[in-house]
Amino acid sequence: MLFLAGTMVAVAGAAHAAARAPDTRAKALKIGVYDVTRARGQGAPVREIVRGLAKRGWQVESFVDLHLITLLQYDIVYLSDMHRPGNSPKDGPRNIAAYLAAGGSVLQTWHHHILSRISIGVRRVYGKRSMKVVPGHPAVAGITDFKAAFRDHIIEKVGSQGTVVIRNGDGQPVAVVGTIGKGKVVSTGLSLDLPRVNPVELKLTEAFFRWLAPDVPRQERMRVLSGPELMVFPETTTAPAGLPTAFRLVTGPVEPGQTVEMRLDGRSLTPRPVAPGSILRQADFRLTAPPGRDSEAGHELTVKLGNTVLKKELKLRGLFAPPPPEERRGVWLHVGKDRRPAVVMPELRKLGINMAVLRIAGGTAAFYGSKVQPDVQDPMAAEGGDWLAAAVKYAHANGIELHAYVNNCVVEGRTSPASLRRLRAQGRLQEGPDGQPIDWFCPSQPENVEAITRPMVEIAANYDVDGVQYDFIRYPNRQGCYCAKCRALFEKESGAPVKSWPADVLEGGPRAAAYVEFRCERISAIVRHVSAAVRRANPKVKISAAVFRDWPDCRENVGQDWVRWCREGWLDFVCPMTYTLDPVLYESLVESHRAAVPPGFPIVEGIGIASSSGTMEDPAQVALHVILARKAGAAGFCGFCYKPRATRRLLAPLRAWFDASAGPAQQ
């Protein structure tokens, strides 16, 4: 459901093969990529980075904590898109500094906020792909000027120990290198999201790694440890009452032949198999908070390494919340051959789901038998069927509400090439401040408002759906829209011409605040118009919207004033896309949503079970988010998005839990 402003450039396998493979010395490096999503933090998944590096011949693995003993295993620590580090220790930045002082190396990319002595990312810029290499430093040896794979990047604030090695076309720093103690650092606002970068960026990544190769041997770096250590991940966590939660114990360094004993609350733990040459010993275990109530308890870990005894306490906070009456338990899902309604709807019923929110149209496309959308892409059309009709039939047969959702303003990726060319030729799409086209409907144009209205009304009028839902009912970001029609309408509504367009209405300009309100009004006007038309067509249909989680920042960022839509009665319920694997952040967000909307207004909180924020791996993660949503007064939850195997794996173990915690309306 989220729009990624950095559009990825596909790279053919032949181009990958053409890029230079790691040399012999580089292949000996051990690279650790911090997986912020598995650590339940906020940032992009790193699976593709790990796979891409492994395919290129690097020794690479992911890790999920920032303890010093973990960092010291690696020659290079790769930190990518670190918005929030998750369940890592609070002294994680200090551990990274100690790791560097001992001679380790760090590559941090995209969003990064530590190691300011070298540089930190400070501002995201769009539409600037031209990159200029500053010659003379070995970190960029052999690299020539290039165009970045992504349309956006982060510019750097250079620290006292940083040296700029790449600038963008405007001369702003994009990659900075330097040393801290005996260690080396590369900080760059480029994503380097392997394998989806261009061949030059592949070569750049490998050049960075070659320069980052530590000058201090790994065993010598280990001497920074004062002695054996014991850690547990996570040390303190919150879990759903009555469901087991996973933990991992790690201890070391372990000397050759040294005996290791591990205990939890006095009982023995079984260690994981040991890799050859490993200096660490690990054990996985689970703890369960008491069912049916909130709780908090401590548990003691004891490790004996030879004659050394180490102890640590972990804390488990259990949370419980009964469901609200008639709780909506939903998933967003897409049309696909592996998701045919006759199969999916019975499966959802078995998983305890009672609401399916189905993407069925977007731009000029329809995945049903539409009479108003020019690009019908219904997989059932060839056999004389209609996907939406079938979805309604099988949903209702299995006691599931069917809500059809439409990608309203976005055009790219949902519209045929011919329709896209036509819309561009008609001048109906957005423009960025640089005059470049953005393939979204310009909301200032009445013909676009009607184009957005038609499929919503058609669905409500002609299908027995329980609801219709807005999605992508917004601008893509702060870059749209600055076309001549938006300028004319803004000047008309504000009663004053704009002297310098678009500079005066951009962030920091004298009329920026007024343009924020103008953008919000454009989107709100669409919702007001469409909701009125839908209610005339079918008063029984429930109207909802999938909205950005970051209220009120989404007003400025994407023109989405969704709290107003709730207040004005244009929606029957709202679905914030609260996608994060970080339960602390989730708790804060769902509480802010409840405080923002009118008292009692129904909120169906989104849960990112498989989203751009990462994929949940443990059913307890889903259950915890459900409980946090319930505690905040939500009327239900909706998981994004349904994927057959992953959804079954996450939700099947929760069916009994759903039933056990259900109120009279659900039993």
SS (H, E, C) 427-459: CCEEECCCCCEEEEECCCCHHHHHHHHHHHHHH
Burial readout 339-377 (b: 16 or more C-beta within 10 A, e: otherwise): bbbeebbebbbebbbbbbbbbbbbbbbbbbbbebbebbb
* Same-domain check for residues 315 and 337: no
CA geometry: angle at 456 spanning 451 and 459, to 5°? 130
| Residue 24: pLDDT band with limits 50, 70, 90 | low
* Same-domain check for residues 311 and 335: no
Q: What is the mean pLDDT of residues 282-292?
A: 94
* Same-domain check for residues 506 and 524: yes
441-470 pLDDT per residue, tens = 999 999 999 999 999 999 999 999 999 999
* Same-domain check for residues 477 and 497: yes
* Same-domain check for residues 127 and 180: yes
Q: What is the mean pLDDT of residues 148-161?
A: 93
Residue 666 included in any domain: no
* Residue 234 confidence (pLDDT) above 60: yes
521-532 pLDDT per residue, tens = 999 999 999 999
Of the residues 249, 284, 319, which one is the last residue of a structural domain? 319
Residue 568 included in any domain: yes
Range of weakest confidence among 138-142, 173-177, 231-235, 239-243: 231-235
Of the residues 275, 301, 319, which one is the last residue of a structural domain? 319
C-alpha 622/C-alpha 352 separation (Å) is 13
Residue 545: what residue type? A
Q: What is the CATH number of the domain that holds 80?
A: 3.40.50.880
| Spacing of C-alpha 458 from chain mean position | 32
Q: Report pTM.
A: 0.82
The total domain count for the chain is 3
C-alpha 204/C-alpha 594 separation (Å) is 46
Nearest to 27 by CA among 51, 57, 61: 57
* Same-domain check for residues 495 and 585: yes
C-alpha 603/C-alpha 636 separation (Å) is 7
173-203 pLDDT per residue, tens = 999 999 999 999 999 999 987 777 788 999 9
- Rounded to 10 deg, the angle between the 484-494 and 512-537 helix axes is 100
Residue 333 included in any domain: yes
pLDDT of residue 274: 85
* Same-domain check for residues 508 and 652: yes
pLDDT of residue 190: 95
CA geometry: angle at 112 spanning 136 and 250, to 5°? 110
| Residue 376: pLDDT band with limits 50, 70, 90 | very high
* Same-domain check for residues 415 and 548: yes
Contact 69, 226 (CB under 8 A): no
Q: What is the CATH number of the domain that holds 255?
A: 2.60.40.10
Q: What is the CATH number of the domain that holds 518?
A: 3.20.20.80
Which tokens belong to 570? Answer: 């244009």
Residue 8 included in any domain: no
Residue 5 included in any domain: no
pLDDT of residue 280: 84
Residue 348: what residue type? L
pLDDT of residue 90: 73
Strand partners, 304: 261, 309
* Same-domain check for residues 142 and 238: no
How crowded is the C-beta side of 650, counted as CA atoms within 13 Å? 27
Q: What is the mean pLDDT of residues 473-479?
A: 96
* Same-domain check for residues 218 and 338: no
Residue 7 included in any domain: no
Which tokens belong to 503? Answer: 């500079």
Residue 6 included in any domain: no
377-409 pLDDT per residue, tens = 999 999 999 999 999 999 999 999 999 999 999
Of the residues 299, 319, 339, which one is the last residue of a structural domain? 319
Give one word for 663, left, alpha or beta, with left for phi > 0 and alpha for psi -120 to 50: beta
> In which domain, by residue range, is 503 found?
328-661
Chain position carrying tokens 């803004």: 490
CA geometry: angle at 143 spanning 139 and 148, to 5°? 105
C-alpha 533/C-alpha 403 separation (Å) is 17
C-alpha 206/C-alpha 479 separation (Å) is 33
